[in-house]
Structure 1
Amino acid sequence: MEEVTGKIQAARGLIMKGCEECPKSEDVWLEACRLMPGNQAKAVVAQAVTQIPTSVRLWGKASELETELKAKKRVFRKALEHIPNSVRLWKMAVELEDEEDARIMLSRAVECCPTSVELWLALARLETYENARKVLNKARENIPTDRQIWITAAKLEEANGNQHMVEKIIDRALNSLRANMVEINREHWIKDGEDCEKSGSIHTCQAIVRAVISIGVEEEDRKHTWMEDAEACAAHGAYECARAIYAYALTEFPSKKSIWLRAAYFEKSHGSRESLEALLQRAVAHCPKAEVLWLMGAKSKWLAGDVPAARSILALAFQANPNSEEIWLAAVKLESENNEYERARRLLQKARASAPTARVMMKSVKLEWCLGEIKNAKTLLEEAVKCYPDFPKLWMMKGQIEEQRKQLDAARDAYNQGLKKCPNSIPLWLLLSRLEEKNGQLIKSRSILEKARLKNHQCADLWLEAVRVENRGGLKNIGLTLMARALQDCPNSGILWAEAIFMEPRPQRKTKSVDALRRCEHDPHVLLAASKLFWSERKVSKAREWFNRTVKIEPDLGDAWGFFYKFEQLHGDEDTQADVKKRCVNADPRHGEYWCQVSKNIINWRLRTEQILPLVASVIPVPT
């Protein structure tokens, strides 16, 4: 109290009186040291340690008050004479010494404190390999219940190239600890494994994982638990631990396709191309019927530029899965992407003969259309719609080819025929409506959408198109009325709320966006609309933050990447643009209105994600 009111001298007098009255109170002496200036504090602490020679805190304070290293060391030596079994004092004393003296001191420390794991391990770290082994053996004799000593012994062997010893030591550790009635806590051991990996002891971390992964796990829970463990390790950045868990799981469940797949995706994200390909090679040997594993292997080879190897993988895949649509189409894609159009055509011809499916027919038509062979495409289409009349994409292609040839009546006819067979295909309704709208038939377009909504209840896409038809026709009021009805019919539709925000006058947009976010908190369309709103208000950093949030929640939404890239082109620099492009390529988006307009345009059929992104950004409007 005296100190707080600024009467420092009175405070010092009081505390010294306290020291006289309570000579055995550690706290009183420490407070006195704090209040006294330099040399007086030293005198006080000297008195204190004569009164309480076993107080570690007082000896620590005495060392703190010394300015010279020599004097600090002298204090600790004196302290250790009085309290030779204080681990804390030994640690503080050792920290002041150079390596050689520290080793000598630690040798004495472990004699005085034989149950301190920290001191034993510190000594082992400073010793040579041979001596360190002896130290750890002694430590184990003194403390048979501590796992860290065993783990350090395993790391020591690994560091000296004795990998074969690591597994033995970890196994002996578990047996010894059990014999000493120590409970083996699986979570703690896995955490130790992660720590070993961080310190570079890869063999030790893998040996620990293999040894403890099954402990305490019920037979039927093994697969589920191990997959969770592997994901947790990967999330902590312990990739070698995760790899060891997958490897162990695969030895236990060699024919489980789901584990091979997870392990493959893990290698794809965190491993090298070689590790992924080696894993996939083993995977297809165990699960030859798992098409996706063959396809991943072929894709990896193809992306590395090794087309013959990709071909041979697909050839082996054919032998294992002779009528697989996926493998046929992957082989076709490989050939067409590498300009081997005749080969692709031959493959499709064979596929149509041995594994005819609607998708095979569609890809056959698409290849001819892309190559400009419209006559062949139409012939194939006629055959396809007879065999698969309820596959809407065939009718869509039929109409689009006619639209491209400016044969609007034929296109209309194709869409109408398609809708008779596939009344629930929303894209078909939209194509027919847009055809009429392009033709200047606004009323017809409107009635088509009404008819579509009668057949497909609560469809947000149809409502959105109806609103846009009115807005494009300049009938904003009708558009607003329709939007109100649409939101009543589909109150949780993100695409409708996103559109509604920008239909409002500028001052009301913020309120609308708050409503939208309340309704559809994690909807990517609403998040994208919020990002665009900040952009239109020139709040650059806020917009960037929301764009990042959008692409994180839904990396498959190509429009979000397109807007983000355009935003960086206008407000960022080359680095931020390159970063967005790189993340977009990794995400490999497939959906989004603007994205599909560009990627599905027949003239862009050969373009990859990195080429599509700038094109999408160029057609995207800047929000106003």
Structure 2
Amino acid sequence: MASNKPNKLAFLSMPAPASYVAGLGRGASGFTTRSDIGPAREGPSAEVVAEAQARRGEEPDVDPAQFQDPDNEYGLFAGTTYEQDDEEADKIYEQVDEAMDSRRRARREAAERAQMQKLRAERPKIQQQFADLKRGLSVVTDEEWENLPEVGNLTRKKRKREERSFVVPDSVIVGDRGKNEYDNALDPRQQQAGGFETPADSGALTNLVEIGQARDKILSLKLDQMSGISSTSGTATSVDPKGYLTSLDSVIIKSDAEIGDIKRARMLFDSLVKSNPKHSPGWIAAACLEEHAGKMVAARKIIKQGCEMCPKNEDVWIEAARLHNNEDAKVILANAVQHVGQSVNIWLKAGDLEHDVKAKKRVLRKALEHIPNSVRLWKETVNLESSAVDARILLSRAVEVIPHSVELWLALARLETPDKAKAVLNKARKSVPTSHEIWIAAGRLLEQEASSPSKTPEQRNKELDLVDKTIEAGVRELRKHQVMLTREQWLKEAEKCESEGSPRTCEAIVKATVAMEIEEEDRLDTWVGDAESAEARGMVGTARAVLAYALKVYPDRRSLWRRAAELEKAHGTTESLDAILSRAVVHCPQAEVLWLMSAKEKWLAGDVPAARQVLEQAFVANPESEQIWLAAVKLEAENGEFAVARQLLVRARTVADTERIWMKSAVFERQQGQLSAALETLETALKKFPKFAKLYMIQGQIHQSMGNIALARASFGAGLKSCPKEPSLWTLASRLEEADGKSIRARALLEKARLVNPANEHLWAESIGVEERSGGAAQAKAMLSRALQECPASGVLWSMALWAEPRASRKTKSVDALRKTKDNPFVVCTVARVLWADRAVERARDWFGRATATDPDLGDIWAWWLKFERQHGTEEHREVVRTKCIAADPHHSPVWQSVTKDVANVAKSTREILEIVADRLQ
């Protein structure tokens, strides 16, 4: 049965109708490509398109222009009437537009103004730059405008010269006439052999040796004529033969540019002095210019004219004296005195020209006749006196003439005996009641008398008390006369007294003035800041006095006592430190740290009985103090009294039953080798303190040292159940498994630890270490990448990442590490190691110093520095590292803690521990 369905294949194989264009109904047009053969055909015509659209039932496109009236129609609504409703609608639309615009207008205008101000601040207009100069021109008078000098050419550009032509002389023409000619005949001077005559045979040979000898003879002849007495005239010459050649080297050869500058400056100064002849700086500058150009005669002539035009100006006379020799300068200054007799500088310059002391005295005393009220002249005159008696007489006269000069009164007091000096200072105080220097000088005088060896201690103490009373009275008197010095000014005076060797006066000034201008609630912080700043400037006495006054006001502040003790420890003696600590424990008996500092200082001084006595007193004041009990145990254990230390621990566990005392008891038994006793102590302690992680750690380590891995694993497991937030416990448990050869189990423990303690850098570092030790470098690198994603600011992880980089990219990585960790000490130390590997020795040493300064409590960094100095430094460098490490007394960082907590290193000092750690570092 035949199918009625149309055959699609037959339809597709049918030819296209004529003028068929695919997609014509959608607006497409036909085109041909380069692959087509033959020329491209044109698109269908308008009639064909219209026929096709009519066949499909589509309406033809309408041209809008056919409905437009070309005379008066231009748009859709052209020709319509504009009625009142249209006008009202337009107004409403305009009001809406204005309202929308006004909402943001203020904000927009403010932003535009701010932007414009910023632009004007960065790039101001030229008229704004010169606005102040324009305003200044308003005060210039017409006469000044007319007297402005004419300037030369300052553009440094060569001017075009007018080209001039000259007639060439006949001699030049005649000489050049035969230049290009040549002869076609032989020279008659030719030899018969056919060769030319040689220069040697003709006698025209140049002998360079004879020329050099002749030159030397001429030079020696000139020098002989200049040396001594001339052979012709018999008169002495003014040329030094020894310095003649040397002086030739000192001649300054000026370039054309410098000569041009000098000429232009000479024109400028010439115009200046002519337009304003009474302007003394112009004459001085013109003379200096000629001096610089090497024309001393012209310079002296100019300055002479300046003295004539400006006879009342002292600077011109002094400059004239400088430009002349000594004898002429005396004459010049003698003339200057006639015109400017009241000038102190001219008299002093005249005195300096005299080389004889008597002549200087004569000049200065003549000056005092003209200017009797000059302090400077009196001081210079007194300084010339070699006898104290004559100086005293002069100063006595000086203070009569100038009673308000504090310097002269103090100088006179220094020359008098102590008794007369007191009278002089009393007169000075009455003459100048507003001077604080006189009161300070009185206090220093009393302190000097008290320090006399002939005085008894009682007399000395009484006179030292007078110093305090004198300074207090001085402060009161100054307040009465409205002389209000600030605290900072008084403290500077105190530091000045300390630096000049008057510590008691310094202390008196601090006592009298340190409490001024301070609110009561700010006094403590202000005084501590004053003490710290004074200590930083090296003024220990001032800092000590400030803290002493603060301790009188706040005797129960343990922080103040500790600060004073630290000051004495750093800058004082053992006796002063002991005195401070003895007073501190009396005023603050409950301050455990002060008792411990006192006992430690006595122990370090070698006085163990005294240290025991201090701790016994501390027990009385603080019977349940954990720190004091442990300090007593450490004292006895360090001195070999193990039985006494054990008894103290037993008593401590009874009196002060704390978890730390139980832990120290177990550690003590472990250090003594009593492992069973230590385990019994730990079992008892764990029943009392089941949440104290360190007990589980010690118990597990003891079992591990005894070789009982199962019990050690059980101890660590119990600890992890009780204290899951303790990273160190997880680390010890993983290391136990790793030591037992079970790296998979160690890896699992650390993964669980990271889940319990997220973002913990030490757990991540331990995991990376496990991968590295098991030989999985790729796993370790992947683990490090994950760790840095979770802990992006970890110094430990960045240090590991930095060292794991290839050597070529470590420096670039160092910059990122320092920026992201904010100069973490571990990263700084690693940068130093990178520089060490690159042989940058000095830079590596600087970076090690930066690392230890950032955190001196990290022992591994000190050990790395010592290891570096072992390789590249001297014994002095190594000793510096050891000394600084001992002073810092570090306690943390991984390798350092593992060494210090090792039982074999219990009694070793910080110096020995440092050497061991440096050996272990790799």
TM-score of the aligned structures, taking structure 2 as reference length: 0.65
How many Å separate the matches in 2 of 1:280 and 1:386? Answer: 40
Counterparts of residues 298-447 of structure 1 (less than 5 Å): 298-447=599-748
Matched with 1:595 is 896
Matched with 2:331 is 43
Matched with 1:477 is 778
Question: Who wins on radius of gyration, i.e. which is larger?
Answer: 2
Match of 2:345 among 51, 57, 77: 57
Deviation of 1:307 (Å): 1.9
Match of 2:422 among 129, 133, 147: 133
300-309 or 464-473, which moves further after superposition? 464-473
Deviation of 1:238 (Å): 2.2
Matched with 1:189 is 490
Counterparts of residues 7-46 of structure 1 (less than 5 Å): 7-46=295-334
Deviation of 1:173 (Å): 0.3
In structure 2, relative to structure 1, the CA distance for the partners of 1:532 and 1:91 (3 Å cut) is farther
Structure with more of its chain in helix, by fraction: 1
| Structure 1 residue matching 2:702: 3-state secondary structure | helix
Deviation of 1:394 (Å): 0.9
576-585 or 451-460, which moves further after superposition? 576-585
How many Å separate the matches in 2 of 1:175 and 1:71? Answer: 48
Q: Are residue 142 (structure 1) and residue 443 (structure 2) matched?
A: no
Is contact 1:140–1:149 with CA below 8 Å preserved after alignment? yes
Is contact 1:99–1:126 with CA below 8 Å preserved after alignment? no
Matched with 1:121 is 410
RMSD: 2.0
Identity of aligned residues (%): 51
Matched with 1:109 is 398
- Structure 2 residue identity aligned to 1:28: V
Match of 2:505 among 194, 197, 204: 204
| Structure 2 residue matching 1:2: 3-state secondary structure | helix
Deviation per CA, 1:171-201, whole angstroms, max 9, x where unpaired? 1101111111111422211221122122221
Deviation of 1:365 (Å): 0.5
Matched with 1:251 is 552
How many Å separate the matches in 2 of 1:554 and 1:245? Answer: 30
Deviation of 1:92 (Å): 3.1
Counterparts of residues 157-196 of structure 1 (less than 5 Å): 157-161=446-450, 162-196=463-497
Matched with 1:467 is 768
In structure 2, relative to structure 1, the CA distance for the partners of 1:497 and 1:31 (3 Å cut) is farther
567-576 or 79-88, which moves further after superposition? 567-576
Deviation of 1:83 (Å): 1.7
How many Å separate the matches in 1 of 2:777 and 2:367? Answer: 88
- Structure 2 residue identity aligned to 1:399: G
In structure 2, relative to structure 1, the CA distance for the partners of 1:113 and 1:563 (3 Å cut) is farther
How many Å separate the matches in 2 of 1:353 and 1:196? Answer: 56
Deviation of 1:99 (Å): 4.8
359-368 or 121-130, which moves further after superposition? 121-130
| Structure 1 residue matching 2:290: 3-state secondary structure | coil
How many Å separate the matches in 1 of 2:553 and 2:623? Answer: 29
Deviation of 1:540 (Å): 2.4
Deviation per CA, 1:476-522, whole angstroms, max 9, x where unpaired? 33333333332332222222222222111111111122222223344
Is contact 1:45–1:62 with CA below 8 Å preserved after alignment? yes
Is contact 1:501–1:529 with CA below 8 Å preserved after alignment? yes
Deviation of 1:374 (Å): 0.7
Deviation per CA, 1:39-97, whole angstroms, max 9, x where unpaired? 33333333223221112222233233333444333332222222222222333333333
In structure 2, relative to structure 1, the CA distance for the partners of 1:575 and 1:5 (3 Å cut) is same
Is contact 1:562–1:613 with CA below 8 Å preserved after alignment? yes
Deviation of 1:369 (Å): 0.4
554-563 or 513-522, which moves further after superposition? 513-522
In structure 2, relative to structure 1, the CA distance for the partners of 1:434 and 1:8 (3 Å cut) is farther
How many Å separate the matches in 1 of 2:484 and 2:419? Answer: 31
Is contact 1:209–1:245 with CA below 8 Å preserved after alignment? yes
Q: Are residue 575 (structure 1) and residue 876 (structure 2) matched?
A: yes
Deviation of 1:210 (Å): 1.2
Deviation per CA, 1:530-562, whole angstroms, max 9, x where unpaired? 222222222222222222222223221212222
How many Å separate the matches in 1 of 2:777 and 2:323? Answer: 78
Deviation per CA, 1:303-354, whole angstroms, max 9, x where unpaired? 2222222222212211221211111111111111111111111111112122
Deviation of 1:144 (Å): 0.6
Number of aligned residues: 621
Deviation of 1:401 (Å): 1.1
TM-score of the aligned structures, taking structure 1 as reference length: 0.94
How many Å separate the matches in 2 of 1:56 and 1:230? Answer: 44
Is contact 1:174–1:184 with CA below 8 Å preserved after alignment? no
In structure 2, relative to structure 1, the CA distance for the partners of 1:504 and 1:65 (3 Å cut) is farther
Matched with 2:164 is none
Counterparts of residues 480-495 of structure 1 (less than 5 Å): 480-495=781-796
In structure 2, relative to structure 1, the CA distance for the partners of 1:605 and 1:112 (3 Å cut) is same
Is contact 1:569–1:577 with CA below 8 Å preserved after alignment? yes
How many Å separate the matches in 2 of 1:421 and 1:381? Answer: 15
In structure 2, relative to structure 1, the CA distance for the partners of 1:473 and 1:68 (3 Å cut) is farther
Is contact 1:463–1:486 with CA below 8 Å preserved after alignment? yes
